[in-house]
A and B are shown apart, each in its own frame.
Chain A
Amino acid sequence: MGNGELKIENGELQRRKPKPLDDSAGLSDGRARDEPANSQFSILNSQLASACNAAADELTASRALIDALERDNAALKQGLEVEKQTTQLLTELDQTRKSESESLHSAITAKNEALAAKDSVIATQDKLIEALKRKKSSPWKRVGDVLIGIGLGTLL
């Protein structure tokens, strides 16, 4: 790119006061100051360096932003994974609670049946006790039987 083209494109920049360049660039020696073309080149070079410096700053900041966004994205992905695991566990918990509820209902039903069976045992045992009570004769009845026997013997 020639100097003339740069002058046209950066006409606005040329109107600004150029920043001094470092001596290490080797562009601001005493001989160049005397020559207009070299002076214009030096100014243009300075403006280019400033713009390039701004672009470099923006690039640095953009890279920092990209890094921050990537970290943010990675954290969001981790959060999403944790949420997925939580959702899975909550679904499993829901199923287990339903199963527990069904098991408890079933256990209660079985316990009621067991209680009914035990009531049946008690009722049957009561019947047995009554039968045994009927079978067992009282002392007075035995005395009566003896008296009946004596009476029958006397009659005979």
Chain B
Amino acid sequence: MNIRTQIYIAAAAIIATVCIIGTLWSKHKIADLERDVENAKTLAAEKQNTADEREKVAGEYKAKNEYLEQQIDTLRAVAQKQDEELQKLSANVDSARADVSRTRNIRSAAATLTELCAKLADLGHECG
């Protein structure tokens, strides 16, 4: 084997080595990139889960708000009915107050003793 052949073999070996190293380096870089992609996907999935959970919590608050608004509407309806009832009662009170004033201004009212005794009995003070 002469020197020239040896040079060729050495050159071929160097080229083959360079090619092998290049291929391995390329595979390594691709593996790194694939790992980066997987890590990024995992992180994105975690972030998405967190976002979904927070959205779910917000949805629960929204449902609670709707429930509370419904309860408040019910109470307002009750309060409105009570206001109407209060107006009627106030009218009754005014009427009763007017009756008291009217009867207070009457110094005497004609009545038989029988009628008077009946009234007193109604009031809880029976005659005799």
Judge whether B126 is part of the interface by a CB distance below 8 angstroms: no
Chain A residue with the shortest CB-CB distance to B27: A135
Chain B residues within an 8 Å CB radius of A75 = 82, 85-86, 89
A19 proximal to B (CB < 8 A): yes
Question: What chain B residues lie within 8 Å of A86 (beta carbons)?
Answer: 72, 75-76, 79
Interface residues of chain B, those whose CB is within 8 Å of chain A, are 8, 26, 29-30, 33-34, 36-37, 40-41, 43-44, 46-48, 50-51, 54-55, 57-58, 61-62, 64-65, 68-69, 71-72, 75-76, 78-79, 82-83, 85-86, 89-90, 92-93, 95-97, 99-100, 102-104, 106-116, 119-120, 122-123
Min CB distance A105 to B, Å, is 9
Quick one: which of A19, A69, A79, A124 contacts B33, CB cutoff 8 A? A124
Measuring CB to CB, which residues of chain A are less than 8 angstroms from any residue of chain B?
A: 13, 19, 21-22, 24-25, 47, 49-54, 56-65, 67-69, 71-72, 75-76, 78-79, 82-83, 85-86, 89-90, 92-93, 96-97, 99-100, 103-104, 106-107, 110-111, 113-114, 116-118, 120-121, 124-125, 127-128, 131-132, 134-135, 156
Q: How many A-B residue pairs have CB under 8 A?
A: 192
Q: Cβ of A50 and Cβ of B90 under 8 Å apart?
A: no
Q: At the interface, is chain B mostly helix, strand, loop or mixed?
A: helix
> Do B92 and A104 touch across chains, with their CB atoms under 8 A apart?
no
With both chains docked as a complex, state the minimum distance between the C-beta of A100 and any C-beta of chain B, in angstroms. Answer: 4
Q: A89-B71, A96-B61, A124-B36 are in contact. Are A82 and B82 (CB under 8 A)?
A: yes
A147 to chain B, nearest CB (A): 16
User: Is A54 within 8 A of B54, CB to CB?
Assistant: no
* Pairwise interchain contact A93-B68, C-beta atoms closer than 8 A: yes
Nearest A residue to B100, CB-CB: A61
